[in-house]
C-alpha cells in the first residue's frame, strides 16, 4: 500500500508507513498540514522556554569568564606559555 503522505510503497497489511510513520488508510492526507512538522503547543512552549534559558545561561557563563580571572581549562597565560615552549 502506498503512503498518502510520502508515497512510499509499504507492505500489504501495514498499519503505518515504514518511511515517515504516518498512519496508512484509504483516506487522503489532511490538506495544508504536514503531520511530521506538527508540534503540539504545550511542547513548543517548553522547547522555546528551554532554548531561552540555555541562551541566558550561556551568556552568563561567557560574561563570568571574560569579567573575572577565571579562564577555561588550558587557556591561562601560564598554560599557553608552557605549550609554546
pLDDT, block means (10 residues), the chain with 85 residues? 87 86 68 68 89 89 72 64 69
Domain count, the chain: 2
Say whether both 56 and 15 belong to one domain.
no
Q: Tell me: do 34 and 70 sit in the same domain.
A: no
- Tell whether 23 and 51 lie within a shared domain: no
The parent domain of residue 3 ranges over 1-38
pTM of the predicted protein model: 0.34
33 and 59 both lie in a single domain: no
Grid coordinates of 52: 531561552
Do residues 9 and 32 share a domain?
A: yes
Same domain, 83 and 71: yes
State residue 3's pLDDT score: 86
Buried residues in 27-55 as b, exposed as e (16+ CB within 10 A): eeeeeeeeeeeeeeeeeeeeeeeeeeeee
**How much is the pLDDT for 27?**
46
Amino acid at each position: 500500500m502506498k503512503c498518502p503522505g510520502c508515497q512510499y510503497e509499504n507492505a500489504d497489511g501495514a498499519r503505518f508507513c515504514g518511511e515517515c510513520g504516518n498512519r496508512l488508510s484509504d483516506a487522503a492526507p489532511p490538506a495544508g498540514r504536514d503531520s511530521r512538522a506538527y508540534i503540539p503547543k504545550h511542547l513548543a512552549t517548553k522547547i522555546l522556554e528551554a532554548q531561552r534559558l540555555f541562551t541566558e545561561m550561556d551568556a552568563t557563563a561567557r560574561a563570568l569568564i571574560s569579567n573575572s580571572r577565571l579562564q577555561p581549562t588550558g587557556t591561562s597565560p601560564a598554560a599557553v606559555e608552557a605549550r609554546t615552549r
